[in-house]
Amino acid sequence: MAQPPPDVREDDCLPEYHHLFCPDLLQDKVAFITGGGSGIGFRIAEIFMRHGCYTVIASRSLPRVSMAARKLAAATGQRCLPLSLDVRSPLAITAAVEQALKEFGKIDILINCAAGNFLCPAGTLSSNAFKTVMDIDTLGTFNVSRILYEKFFRDHGGVIVNITATLGTRGQVLQVHAGSAKAAVGHPRKQSSSASPSYLPDSHADAMTRHLAVEWGPQNIRVNSLAPGLISGTEGFQRLGGLQAGLNAKVLASPLKRLGNKTEIAHSALFLASPLASYMTGAVLVVDGGSWLTFPNDVGLLADLTSFSAKL
């Protein structure tokens, strides 16, 4: 069985890296990555840069992305532009995209990785809390995609990768807000007998990924989703309390019997953004070790998790 690639839990660059793909796979490409200052977005930026790409990393916290950009540039020797924006603000997005175009002259790839989530029972979830997650995950993804389409992709083509989740696959306790938001962007449906185990079409009527793939395909724009499972070393993982000793057996009930790491998700994003996936659009790539098929929808388990995370 293939071993997972090395990773570090902190928002730091890998101390060493061995290429599995051609080192110049994204040579001279430019990627605009929301949520790029930490977690999965940070590792995507690093892996892209290690394959010849320049990056723009955007987050609400300019100090965070500025520090991240310095780390990335030092580790890879590639240029990284840190920008502050809120994906809920079209004006802020427009300013950031224009600044990126001024700096690099083009944008080839958009990674929509900004997200917000927490555990909360539906009965105590306020309308404002629900709206906040929808605004960041769903509206934010649309805002950035539409503005980049208007400013560059419409006339030059491009690639969009939406980082979603498998939460919308089935009903999940404590996650009505995040599941609804991710489903609107793109999520896997239950597998039919004819479906591939890894590339699963989404049946949600409002799945943004499929709609944009169909509408923007004639402009040579590919739009796909990447749906990670529970990934170690991320803020979301920490909000779930990490792995408490009593929860290990249930949380690790995936077919591969382990958690994924950020480097594995970044490699999957690299594939989708590269010419290797040149004929893929409107697809959802699930990268979760098969856990969406087996993870227990256990109210007691998740109640323990939310009780623990409330103390963080």
Better-scored residue on pLDDT, 306 or 68: 68
Residue 51 has pLDDT above 60, yes or no: yes
Q: Which of 80-94, 104-118, 235-249 has the highest mean pLDDT?
A: 80-94
What per-residue string of b and e applies to 250-289 under the rule 16 or more CB within 10 Å gives b? ebbebeeeebbbbbbbbbbbbbbbbeebeebbbbbbbbbb
pTM: 0.84
User: Which among 182, 177, 174 has a CA at the least distance from the CA of 129?
Assistant: 177
pLDDT for 242 equals: 56
**Could you tell me the domains of the chain?**
30-309 (3.40.50.720)
pLDDT for 297 equals: 60
pLDDT for 196 equals: 43
Phi, psi of 51 (to 5 degrees): -115, 25
Which tokens belong to 125? 């979830």
Cα–Cα dist 117/130, whole Å:
10
Cα–Cα dist 160/95, whole Å:
19
User: What is the band of 114 on the pLDDT scale with cuts at 50, 70, 90?
Assistant: confident
Listed in sequence order, the residues at least 6 apart from 239 whose beta carbon sits closer than 8 Å to its beta carbon are: 117, 118, 119, 309, 312
